[in-house]
Amino acid sequence: MKSFYLTTAIDYVNGSPHIGHAYEKVLADVIARTHRMQGDDVYFLTGTDEHGQKIQQSARAKGVPTQEFVDTIAAEFVELARFLNLSHNDFIRTTEPRHKEVVRACLQQLFDKGEIYRAEYKGFYSARQEQFLQEKDRQADGRWPEIYGEVIEITESNYFFKLRSYQQWLIDHITANEDFVFPAHRRKSLLEFLSEPLNDLCISRPKDRLEWGIPLPFDPDYVTYVWFDALLNYFSAVKELGRWPADFNIIGKDILIPAHGIYWPIMLHALGLPPPKTLLVHGWWSINGAKMSKSTGNFVDPIAFGKQWNVDALRYFLVREMVVGQDADFSQEQFLVRYNSELANSLGNLVNRTLNMTTRFSAGVVPLAGPAGEAETELQQLWPTTRDEFLKLSDGLQFHTALERAMQFVTATNAYIERTAPWKLAKDTSPEGQARLHTALATMAEALRLGTALLWPVMPTAVDKIRGGLAQAPLATWDGELVWGDRLAGATLGAVEILFPKPAPTEKKA
């Protein structure tokens, strides 16, 4: 069994989950489930990032103890994972002792090796971004961009990690490993960024300015700076399991440079550990064409939205609409276009017709197919092409087109039903007429079983319900499942609730 370890970014707990958080987790889940279907030994990690100035500030603004504050918001992310039906193996919180211990051990190891040193630091500091700024960050008019909030000049003694001494190693690593960053254009930007000299990384904050962090093992007056703590979650969660390195660290485009693309591989290398095999970098969702913002109300709560429509439909939309690596726009209109045409009409119709016609014309039992005619042969030939393309596209992370292919097969099956018109064949009581009816009913049931098997990683609940209707157990593997055959012959079909009601209830409110 091939081991496959994948992670998501861990979400900050200073605000509630939004659709961007949901997308990343669903994408990871689809990859995890796809690998499990192929027989890999998958380990899927997600979690929350709970230290740092912003979180401390948010808790103070609410007037609650910081631990209580992070517990409340972390619970929302745990609930999101449950609601989205994620198949994660672990959920790590950076405030957990198991994580803090590993961070402290890593810091001590680097300190002992001389990779961490203390120095005076004077600079412009943005509390909002929790980072020191450089002159190049200023706008042309000399002011600091708004994203930094209030910027103040401070001098303080801090600890630094020798990032610069590993710059050439990192460039060589990225150059030699095309798969280190997906998609390719992000790898290119990372290499471009590395053409300028790096500064060493300030990894500490004095405790009197920031209490809410992990104390440095070699100086209790300091805590670690947010990235040094957060990035190590991918390692701390699996250190004992021997799962490192990750096959995929899945992240959004904003945290590739410098955090995941520079700090992370260098930290690992300095610790004597291999870098992750691939940083999978996804794009960002806008909402109704504009930046997501809770304060302006341009915000989608994934749980409320999923409850309003259907969580599998939400998962489907997120994966169908966004090209992995590019940005996409989320709008209810576009969601409904796909919901109505692809889920309610194409898929929903195929399920209903298959079950209804088998009930009406064959007492609910799938007949054994007779000889294949032209229509059956065409559909049967489309199947292996669909399957092979689907698997290849999924392997290349092109899930949007993979889903399109699977849906084309569903559409082709609906067209097959139109063409063979079982309701007409049912009126033909001759042995040939009955044989053709049996073939048609068996063919549509088999095509439904196969087509939905491909959709399982994206819509596991809906597909397992459909499989229940086809008297099949929930899908546990693709091994042996993706071959056209007659395993449904003799199966007694059961009812399936309407999975994607049509027309979509547009007036329905969350």
Binding site for ligand MSP (CB under 6 A): 9-12, 20-21, 23-24, 49, 230-231, 233, 251-252, 254-255, 284-285, 292
Q: Give the separation between CA 46 and CA 25, rounded to whole angstroms.
A: 8
Beta-sheet pairing, 219-224 with 215-216: antiparallel
Cα torsion angle, 461, 466, 469, 472, sign = negative
Please state the closest distance from residue 252 (CB atom) to ligand MSP, in A: 2
CA of residue 301 relative to chain centroid, distance = 16
Please state the closest distance from residue 444 (CB atom) to ligand MSP, in A: 38
Q: Give the separation between CA 258 and CA 297, rounded to whole angstroms.
A: 30
Strand partners, 472: none
245 or 364: CB nearest ligand MSP: 245
CA of residue 411 relative to chain centroid, distance = 27
Q: State phi, psi for 48 to the nearest 5 degrees.
A: -130, 150
Q: How far from each other are the two terminal CA atoms of the chain, in whole angstroms?
A: 43
Please state the closest distance from residue 251 (CB atom) to ligand MSP, in A: 5
Under 8 Å CB-to-CB from 340, ≥6 apart: which residues?
Answer: 502, 503, 504
Neighbours of 485 (CB within 10 A): 12
Query: Directed axis angle between helix 460-469 and helix 349-362, to 10°?
Result: 10
Per DSSP, the residues of 44-88 read: EEEEEE--SHHHHHHHHHHTS-HHHHHHHHHHHHHHHHHHTT---
Question: For ligand MSP, which residue has the nearest CB?
Answer: 252
Please state the closest distance from residue 13 (CB atom) to ligand MSP, in A: 8
Please state the closest distance from residue 247 (CB atom) to ligand MSP, in A: 16
DSSP code, position 245:
S
Please state the closest distance from residue 24 (CB atom) to ligand MSP, in A: 5
**Where are the alpha helices (H) located in 136-293, listed in sequence order?**
167-176, 184-193, 226-231, 233-236, 264-270
61 or 119: CB nearest ligand MSP: 61
Strand partners, 47: 92
Contact between residue 25 and residue 66 where contact means Cβ atoms under 8 Å apart = no
Q: Give the separation between CA 285 and CA 287, rounded to whole angstroms.
A: 6
41 or 254: CB nearest ligand MSP: 254
Closest CA to 200 of 141, 263, 140, 261: 263
Please state the closest distance from residue 287 (CB atom) to ligand MSP, in A: 8
10 or 80: CB nearest ligand MSP: 10
Please state the closest distance from residue 145 (CB atom) to ligand MSP, in A: 18
12 or 111: CB nearest ligand MSP: 12
Please state the closest distance from residue 10 (CB atom) to ligand MSP, in A: 5
267 or 466: CB nearest ligand MSP: 267
231 or 351: CB nearest ligand MSP: 231
227 or 361: CB nearest ligand MSP: 227
Neighbours of 137 (CB within 10 A): 16
264 or 416: CB nearest ligand MSP: 264
226 or 448: CB nearest ligand MSP: 226
